[in-house]
Chain A
Amino acid sequence: MLKCENISKTYKSGSWFSKKKEKQVLKNISFHLKESRSMGFVGRNGAGKSTLMKILLGLESADDGSVIFMGQNIHNLKYSQRKEVYKNMQIVFQDPQSSMNPNMTVFQIICEPVNNYYKYSIDELRNIVKDLLKSVELDTNIIDKNITMLSGGQQQRVAIARALAINPKVIILDEAVSNLDMVIQSQILKLLEDLKEKYNISLLVISHDIRVVFKLCDDIIFLENGEIKGNFSIENGVDMEHDAFKKMLVF
């Protein structure tokens, strides 16, 4: 469904006067995400996970390589042509506070993607939003509350509801649980596992925590300094002595 081939990315910095610096953040990344499977990327901060995510979404261009999602190369499409792509690929960011407009209510936030693709009346919209809130185990009477009035865990649930709103095939989780405290984290992980089954969604999990990835994914890729260092799938199991795996196993 989502296929990446030989993605490379180099950041260049420096102004006209200073010496130009180059830093390669991704080197020849290739992988293939199959239908109804979930994939995880594990690596340290600065391993290029977030850059990879931005390239997958077309928010940044790659120097080399292609991202093919459902038969289309995302990077060949203009922004206005990507609507169909985004209908099937949604994202949940790390920090719920910054990923939702603080001036908006829960209802407005969850409505935004729905309004981009469908035309519903207000009453229908309210019912849709209420159903979504129920499916992420939130109370429906928070629907008109401002997003800043909710706690971190609740906000992240709203973000997940927003991602679910247009029934995507893939949801990208960019460190979606690592800012939450342990109890909330385990609740959200449980929720994500359930939702994955219920809506038959593929998750693309990006995390520095190996436990999160093992909980949610069927394929796991270890990234180190922009390179793929290890590649495991649930059928073949994990080589416990593998270098990349051992490095990330700390707790």
Chain B
Amino acid sequence: MKEKLVSIKNLSAGTKYKQILNNISFDIYAGEILCLLGQSGSGKTMTASAILNILPENVEKTSGRILYGEKEFHSGIYGSYISSIMQNPAACFDNVFTMEEQIKDILKANNKDYSQEKMCNILEKVSLTNQQDILNSYPYQLSGGMLQRVMIAVALSLESRVIIADEPTSDLDVLGQREILDLILKLKNENSAVLMITHNLSVVKHMADRIIVMENGSIVDDFNKDELHNNKRHPYTQKLIKANESQYINKWNISFGEYNAKM
């Protein structure tokens, strides 16, 4: 049995007016990429915020527990145990400081080596060239794709056990998306897990080992990658699959599927 890194038990949360999460339970195991799939408003992001313990002010956890390994939440888990990659990297960096200062701060806080070479090294791992230039520039001077890479690089260097990626690609074009996804695939190792939040089934097909489908704040389906085209899937999952397939149908008679299979 693989090691349980995070386990969520009967989690419910909501505002005064509306239930957002409804009795959610799942575990994240070491060595897997777990995809949380659902439409906007299904509570995917709220689940991630609950795991990171950064729920918005007006949302309250009503019941349930989240265990990190064996322990309850404590502030020490950030960085060393759990780290996150956000949807909008531009909003996650402070435009007043150079990249170097910001990366240094994060590394320092987590007791990692923050020498120049080490930082260049980190950036090299996510295939960024001109590392010195990037370190000297300000966030607004870099493109969204580059910032996202830096964020992944930082998450990688912290060697956290769990990395939570909340729609890390939706602000990028398809090529940028693919590059980032491939990087995240590289992150995967036996010791850590990635929780990937997305609405895009193509992304899921590309990445996931295990898939959890959410609808209106509850989990409707939980299965392994190879069971995706199984008839036993929940009707909602089948709807998602159908919607995804319909995107490839066109009157040009090109089957993108064949092309993908070749790759």
Q: Which residues in A have some Cβ–Cβ distance to B below 8 Å?
A: 44-46, 151-152, 179, 181-187, 189-190, 208-212, 214-215, 234, 237-238, 240, 247-251
What are 16 pairs between A and B in contact, CB < 8 Å? A152-B40, A181-B200, A182-B202, A182-B243, A182-B244, A185-B247, A187-B243, A208-B173, A214-B252, A215-B247, A234-B252, A237-B253, A238-B254, A250-B175, A250-B178, A251-B256
**Interchain CB contact under 8 A, B243 and A208:** no
Q: How far is the CA of A44 from the CA of B143 in the complex (A)?
A: 13
**Closest 8 CB pairs between A and B?**
A208-B173, A181-B199, A251-B202, A250-B178, A186-B243, A214-B250, A45-B173, A183-B243
Known contacts A181-B40, A240-B259, A250 near B177 by CB under 8 Å: yes
Q: Interface size for chain B: under 10, 10 to 19, 20 to 34, or 35 or more residues?
A: 35 or more
Distance of A119 Cα from B259 Cα, bound (Å): 53
**How many Å from the CB of B240 to the closest CB on chain A?**
6
B contact set with A: CB distance below 8 Å: 39-41, 143-144, 170, 172-178, 199-203, 206, 239-240, 243-244, 246-254, 256, 259-260
A45 near B177 (CB under 8 angstroms)? no
Please determine whether A251 and B206 come into contact, CB atoms closer than 8 angstroms. yes
* CA–CA, A202 and B246, complex, Å: 22
Q: A208-B174, A209-B174 are in contact. Are A183 and B239 (CB under 8 A)?
A: yes
Q: Which residues of B contact A208 (CB under 8 A)?
A: 173-175
Given A181-B200, A208-B174, 14 new contacts (CB under 8 A): A45-B144, A181-B40, A182-B202, A183-B39, A186-B243, A187-B243, A208-B173, A208-B175, A211-B247, A211-B250, A212-B247, A215-B247, A250-B178, A251-B206
A186 to chain B, nearest CB (A): 4
Report the separation of the CA atoms of residues A206 and B6 in the bound assembly, to the nearest whole angstrom: 42
